[in-house]
Amino acid sequence: MSRGAFLAAALAACAALPASAGAVDAFLAFSSSTRTATARFEQQVLDRSGKVVDRSSGTFSFARPGKFRWAYDKPVRTLIVADGAKLWLYDEDLNQVTVRAMDRALSATPAALLAGQGDVTAVFTLRESGPADGLDWLEALPKEGDTGFERVRIGMKGAAPAAMELHDSLGGRTVLRFPEFRAGARVEPGSFRFVPPKGADVLDESLRPVPQAGGASPRKP
């Protein structure tokens, strides 16, 4: 999964409880009780052979319900801001802003597993994946088909996520590590507001109609 695909992939929910607990219970407790959080992240994108094809890093913060900020600072500065109604994607190099509505398409994206709103068990199926690399892992399977990925693995360290792995349908993998995850950290409300820079090219897709039930799935943001 490319950086752009993951960028657009931002925020909301996760899965049906299995009989046993462990990482699933820890993650659901985190989802229900953590209202704000901040983190640094380190990201690698691997192709189907396991070769690293992209590296990046940055910061992440959220405030439930429905607000988050995901900022890449290396190697390319890119920013995603969700203000509860719209999702803003800003490419600093291109000075280009894309605006999308935070509709139900957002609920089936990987960011939903960390910072989403609503019942996390509604759009993903969760199951235990066992311990590895000092973490307790769970696996999240999307209930909708058009998500751009087949499954997500989340590594819990105690009560907070420490890693995520996103597996796409072509055998690629995006790996995220959170070396500094602070659940309950104070987050400035203004960090979830975005105003396009002067002179930026703004592409507003927020008025695109969302298909009704029974129709095709809306485009992933």
Provide φ and ψ at 28, rounded to 5°.
-65, -35
pTM equals 0.77
pLDDT at 40 over 50: yes
Dihedral angle computed from the Cα positions of residues 80, 82, 88 and 94, in that order, rounded to the nearest 10 degrees: -10
Q: What is the CATH number that goes with domain 3-204?
A: 2.50.20.10
Amino acid residing at 34: T
pLDDT in tens, 106-118: 555 666 668 776 6
Provide φ and ψ at 33, rounded to 5°.
-105, -20
Cα separation, 209 vs 121, in Å, equals: 26
Backbone region of residue 3 per phi and psi (left: phi > 0; alpha: psi in -120 to 50; beta: other values): alpha
Q: Domain segments of the chain: what residues?
A: 3-204
pLDDT in tens, 144-192: 766 678 899 999 999 999 999 999 888 999 999 999 899 999 999 999 9
Q: What angle do CA 93, 204, 173 make, to 5 degrees?
A: 60
